[in-house]
């Protein structure tokens, strides 16, 4: 079903009633809500544009300076991913992006999203660069390559686990602070501290073993990397906003047992899958680069870029089962095949002036670099900071018991939240489905202050 809504140009609305309609009053906890989504054509167009821009920039970066791209940007981008999640979910877009940014006056219409998105992106990149420089120059003085890359995967895992599995539970492990910057600082420090401890388990092999950043832990670097990637796959599948959207038996346990249970379930499933593949003769880094990275990408792209299409009309857990089959089995085969062809020119440029890279990396190494270090940041920045500009801004996320309906707003300057003339139930942006994640940290990322910019 696709509903077309034509709005004449109009000034921004200042009342919260503009984000609701009478159908909202008829909602029930059991039935969930009907959530407006971008039409699949717009979703696909947006993703293809992001893919093309990511490819062009990757090719240009490798052509200009492959050494900087491989040994500086790739390890550093883990910090960017960390702060994208911190600002986008934990901080609700503070201080410049909607909904909690722009000092309480977010831009939901077609005006201001571009400039506010640029400001938010600049802040995130600057903070990521500052923290990365502190870690490499002050303490603990890990060089970005190779130590920074392995610390980066630790930080990536811990951030995803903490934000998607722990703090977005119906009851967060640590109550969120009402002031967004304090909330961001607390949770960022927690993730960095845990990641530092986890990094001590690594033991680099070969020439890198004499590197000053080698912790000389119990796990070979390749084994450690593959294990973490496999666990990350299940962290996302069990997340409150991806995969099964928190609708598993362990999520029903009382607080805080649910946090412990989902943590060990993700670790157990990740370890089991990894050991099974190793028993079949799959190389650890080959798994991490090709299969695992494609599965992580598939879960992220399916939930963020496509709003669980074509399963947006199904409720959990059926939606999660079908989504698991699509993003974890079907998509990786397609994505590996596509990336092997699409990224070959970038790989050739990389090894042309750096023959050593041809011995260290394969074409499959390009897949996670492109998918998770270029496409994923662009997608998250466009979604959270630019509010999908120039497309319709995102509304509330599709909760586990919600169903989605594609809505076309033919006037791009109108606020797509104003659907009084359409027979489409619209959830208040101040609320979340009570059957889904409702903690203050995740809820804060959706709240709209009562005033909009004039």
Question: What are the DSSP calls for 400-447, one per residue?
Answer: TT-EEEEEEES-TTS-TT--TTSS-----TT---TTS---HHHHHTT-
Instruction: Round to whole Å and give the CA distance between 396 and 433.
Output: 9
Q: Which residues of the chain have pLDDT under 70?
A: 1-32, 102-111, 170, 206-213, 408-454
Instruction: Round to whole Å and give the CA distance between 282 and 91.
Output: 40
pLDDT digits (tens, 9 = 90+) for 78-127: 999 999 999 998 988 888 887 777 644 545 444 578 888 899 999 999 99
DSSP per-residue letters across 188-255: HHHHHHHHHHHHTTEE--GGGGGSTT----SEEHHHHHHHHHHHHHHHHHT-SSSTTTT-SGGGGSPT
Instruction: Round to whole Å and give the CA distance between 333 and 340.
Output: 11
Tell whether 354 is covered by a domain: yes
The dihedral formed by the CA atoms of 187, 188, 189 and 192, expressed in degrees to the nearest 10: 120
Q: How many residues does this entry show for the chain?
A: 454
- Cis ω for the linkage preceding 48 (within 30 of 0): no
Question: Kind of pairing, strands 403-409 and 34-37?
Answer: parallel
Q: How many domains does the chain have?
A: 1
Q: pTM for the complete prediction?
A: 0.81
Nearest to 2 by CA among 417, 310, 392, 407: 407
Write out the residue range of the structural domain in which residue 204 sits: 29-412
Q: For the range 139-146, what are the long-range contacts, defined as Cβ-Cβ under 8 Å and sequence gap of 24 or more?
A: 140/196, 140/213, 141/212, 141/213, 142/213, 143/211, 143/212, 143/213, 144/71, 144/72, 144/75, 144/76, 145/70, 145/71, 145/72, 145/75, 146/204, 146/208, 146/211, 146/213, 146/221
Is residue 420 within 8 A of residue 22, CB to CB? The reply is no
Assign 83 to helix, strand or coil: helix
The whole-number pLDDT of residue 55 equals 97
Tell whether 98 is covered by a domain: yes
CB atoms within 10 A of CB 116: 24
Instruction: Round to whole Å and give the CA distance between 261 and 241.
Output: 17
Assign 394 to helix, strand or coil: coil
Tell whether 169 is covered by a domain: yes
Which residues, 6 or more positions from 218, have their beta carbon under 8 angstroms from its beta carbon? 201, 203
Tell whether 54 is covered by a domain: yes
Tell whether 419 is covered by a domain: no
Is residue 215 within 8 A of residue 203, CB to CB? The reply is yes
Tell whether 131 is covered by a domain: yes
Q: For 73, which DSSP code? A: I
**Cα angle vertex 104, ends 98, 433, to 5°?**
55
Integer angstrom CA distances of residue 421 from 11, 387, 389, 409: 17, 23, 24, 12
Instruction: Round to whole Å and give the CA distance between 169 and 163.
Output: 9
Instruction: Round to whole Å and give the CA distance between 71 and 145.
Output: 5
Nearest to 196 by CA among 147, 161, 233, 234: 147
pLDDT digits (tens, 9 = 90+) for 370-424: 999 999 999 999 999 998 988 888 877 888 888 878 776 544 433 333 333 333 3
Is residue 284 within 8 A of residue 224, CB to CB? The reply is no
Integer angstrom CA distances of residue 174 from 158, 169, 187, 439: 15, 10, 9, 10
Tell whether 23 is covered by a domain: no
Assign 34 to helix, strand or coil: strand
Sign of CA dihedral 110, 53, 94, 419: positive
CB atoms within 10 A of CB 67: 14
Tell whether 428 is covered by a domain: no
């Amino acid at each position: 079903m696709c509903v077309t809504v034509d709005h004449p140009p109009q000034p921004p609305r200042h009342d919260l009633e503009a984000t609701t309609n009478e159908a909202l009053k008829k909602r029930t906890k059991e039935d969930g809500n009907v959530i407006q989504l971008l039409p699949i054509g717009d979703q696909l167009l947006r993703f293809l544009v992001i893919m093309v821009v990511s490819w062009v920039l990757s090719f240009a970066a490798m052509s200009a300076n492959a050494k900087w791209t491989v040994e500086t940007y790739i390890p550093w981008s883990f910090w960017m991913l960390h702060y994208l999640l911190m600002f986008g979910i934990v901080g609700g877009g503070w201080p410049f992006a909607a909904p909690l940014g722009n000092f309480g006056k977010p831009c939901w219409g077609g005006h201001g999203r571009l400039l506010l998105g640029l400001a938010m992106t600049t802040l995130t990149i600057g903070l990521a660069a500052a923290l990365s420089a502190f870690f490499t120059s002050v303490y603990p003085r890990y060089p970005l390559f190779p130590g920074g890359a392995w610390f980066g995967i630790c930080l990536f895992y811990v951030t995803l686990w903490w934000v998607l599995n722990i703090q977005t539970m119906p009851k967060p492990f640590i109550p969120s602070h009402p002031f967004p910057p304090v909330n961001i600082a607390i949770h960022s420090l927690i993730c960095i501290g845990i990641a530092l401890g986890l990094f001590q388990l690594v033991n680099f092999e070969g020439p890198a073993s004499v590197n000053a950043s080698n912790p000389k832990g119990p796990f070979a670097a390749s084994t450690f990397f593959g294990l973490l990637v496999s666990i990350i796959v299940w962290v996302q599948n069990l997340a409150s906003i991806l995969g099964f959207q928190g609708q598993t038996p362990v999520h029903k346990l009382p607080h805080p047992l649910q946090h412990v249970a989902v943590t060990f379930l993700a670790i157990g499933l990740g370890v089991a899958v990894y050991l099974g593949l190793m028993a079949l003769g799959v190389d650890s880094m080959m798994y991490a680069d090709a299969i695992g990275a494609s599965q992580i990408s598939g879960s992220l792209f399916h939930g963020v870029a496509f709003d669980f299409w074509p399963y947006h009309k199904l409720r959990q857990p059926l939606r999660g089962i079908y989504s698991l089959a699509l993003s974890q089995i079907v998509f990786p085969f397609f994505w590996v095949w596509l990336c092997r062809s699409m990224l070959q020119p970038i790989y050739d440029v990389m090894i042309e002036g750096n023959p050593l890279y041809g011995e260290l990396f394969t074409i499959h190494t390009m897949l996670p670099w492109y998918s998770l270090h270029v496409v994923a940041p662009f997608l998250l920045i466009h979604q959270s900071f630019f509010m999908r500009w120039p497309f319709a801004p995102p509304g509330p996320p599709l909760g586990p018991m919600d169903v989605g309906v594609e809505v076309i707003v033919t006037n791009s300057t109108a606020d797509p939240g104003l659907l009084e003339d359409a027979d489409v139930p619209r959830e208040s942006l101040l609320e979340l489905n009570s059957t889904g994640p409702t903690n203050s940290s995740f809820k804060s990322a959706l709240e709209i202050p009562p005033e909009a910019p004039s």
